[in-house]
Amino acid sequence: MSNATQLIHNIPVDPLTGAVSVPIYQTSTFVQEAPGVNKGYDYTRSGNPTRAALEQLVAQLENGAVGLAFASGLAAIDAVIKLLHSGDEIIAVDDIYGGAFRLFDKVYQQYGVKVNYVDCSNLEQVFNAITPRTKLIWLETPTNPTLKIADIKAVAKLAEAHRCLLCVDNTFASPALQQPLSLGADIVVHSATKYLGGHSDVIAGVVVAREREIGERLKFFQNACGAVLSPFDSWLTIRGIETLFLRVKQHCASALAVAQFLETHPEVDKVFYPGLASHPHHDIARKQSKGFGGIVSFTLKDDTEQAAVSFVTHTKLFKLAESLGGIKSLVAHPANMTHKSIPAEKRRAAGVSDSLIRLSVGLEETEDLINDLEATFRHIEKNRKEKQQVINA
Ligand SMILES: *Cc1c(COP(=O)(O)O)cnc(C)c1O
C-alpha cells in the first residue's frame, strides 16, 4: 500500500460514534471512577485524545516509536535540547533556522550548552567539529534559504560512532519526501506550522523519536514544561496532514518548473533548488528523498538590496510574508526579513547575498505562478532602463 493511502487510513474512525473526522476533545480534565482510575486520560496537559491521534499519526508518518505535539516548532526543538546537560555540546548546521539559533545562543548558552556551527553538507567539517562533549548533531536538510543538502545516512553513522544523538529538523522536506529516522537519525522535529499543517492557519510543532526510551524522556519534558498543542490546533494539524502527500506532490512539480524557468531567465544570477542537476548536492538529494520540495531561492544579476526589494514588492500571486509551506505562494527577502539579525558579512559568507529571494511555491496553477514571476521581471527591467535613461540624460 502506498504511504498516501496508509496515511489516510491511519486516521482513526471514532470508535464511539463512527465519526470519520477525529473528534475535538475540548476539555481540560476527565472524570475519574476512583482516584487514579480513568479511561486513559486525566488532564489535557498530560494527554488528550485529539492530540494523541495527531501524535500517533506523525509517529507513523516518520516511522518512529513516539510522536509528540507541541504549541510551536520552537517548543518542539526546546524539548529536544532539554535532553542535554550543562557542559554538553551541539554541532549544528551553520545556516540553521533563525529561531533555533536564537534559542541555542540566547537561552541554552546561559545553561552551559555550547553550539558549534558548521556546514553540514561537508562531512569532513562535521567530523572535525566532534569533541568528547558532543552529545547532539542538529541538521536541517534542505537548509534555509540556500537549500544545502546534508547526507543524513553519513552523518547518522558519524553520530553513532561517537555515541551522540542525531536530530533532523525535517520541516522543509516533510515526511512525504524524506524520513530521517529510516536513514539512521534518532529524532525528527517539525514546525508543523509549515507543510504538515499546510494552510497557514496554525502554529504547531512535533517531535518523533525512533526509540521509545528517548520518546518517553521527551514526553516527560512535554508534560513537565507544558508547551502542549491545544485540542483544536491538534485537529487543525490532522486536517492539514490528511492532504500532505497530494499537496507536496504539487508543491514539488510547480517548484521544479519555477526553478527551471528562473535558471534560464536573463535577470537571474543563481538558482538554488536541489531538484536542478546544477545543484551541488543534487545526487544526495535524489538518493535520500522522494522529491525536492516547494522552496526555491535565487539571486539577481543586479545584486542589490534595492533590486530584490523591488522584485518582492511587485509580485501579485506570491505574497510578501514570512513562513512557508502553505497553499498560497509566498515570497521573502531573507537579508531584510528572516536573516536581518545576522551581520551582513556573515550573512553574505553563508550565501545569503543582498539580492537573494526565497519563494515558497504554493498550490496555484503552475503557469499562473510563472506568469506572475515573468511580469515582475518585466517590471524591474523597465525600472532599470528608466533609471539608466535618467543617468544618461
Ligand atoms: C518555522 C520553522 C521553525 C519554527 O517553527 P514555529 O512553528 O514557527 O515555532 C523551525 N524550523 C524550521 C526549519 C522552520 O522553518
Residues with CB under 6 A from ligand 1: 72-74, 97, 99-100, 140, 144, 169, 171-172, 191, 193-194, 203, 205
Atom of ligand 1 nearest to the CA of 74: 9
Domains parsed from the chain with CATH numbers: 3-241 (3.40.640.10), 245-392 (3.90.1150.10)
Is it the case that residue 381 has pLDDT exceeding 80? yes
In tens, the pLDDT along 123-132 reads: 999 999 999 9
Neighbouring C-beta atoms of residue 34, cutoff 10 Å: 6
Per-residue pLDDT averaged across 297-317, rounded? 95
**Cell numbers found for residue 384:** 532599470
**Cell numbers found for residue 177:** 519526501
Hunting for cell 465519526 — which residue is that?
A: 19
For the chain, give me the number of helices (H) and strands (E)? 13, 12
In tens, the pLDDT along 181-193 reads: 999 999 999 999 9
**Is residue 273 a contact partner of residue 254, using CB atoms and an 8 Å limit?**
no
The residue contributing the CA closest to ligand 1 atom 9 is: 73
**Is residue 293 a contact partner of residue 272, using CB atoms and an 8 Å limit?**
no
Per-residue pLDDT averaged across 250-275, rounded? 97
266: buried, middle or exposed (CB in 10 Å: 19+, 13-18, 0-12)?
A: exposed
Mutate to test the pocket of ligand 1, among 97, 172, 178 (most ligand atoms within 8 A of CB): 97
How far, in Å, CA of 390 to CA of 393, rounded?
A: 5
Please, how many CA atoms are within 13 Å of residue 142, restricted to the half-sphere of its CB?
29
The whole-chain average pLDDT of the chain stands at: 95
Instruction: Tell me the residue ranges of DSSP E strands in 44-88.
Output: 66-70
Q: What SS3 class is residue 205?
A: strand
In tens, the pLDDT along 199-243 reads: 999 999 999 999 999 999 999 999 999 999 999 999 999 999 999
Choosing from 95, 169, 233, 354, which is the catalytic residue? 169
How far, in Å, CA of 256 to CA of 263, rounded?
A: 10
Hunting for cell 545516512 — which residue is that?
A: 153
How far, in Å, CA of 162 to CA of 231, rounded?
A: 39
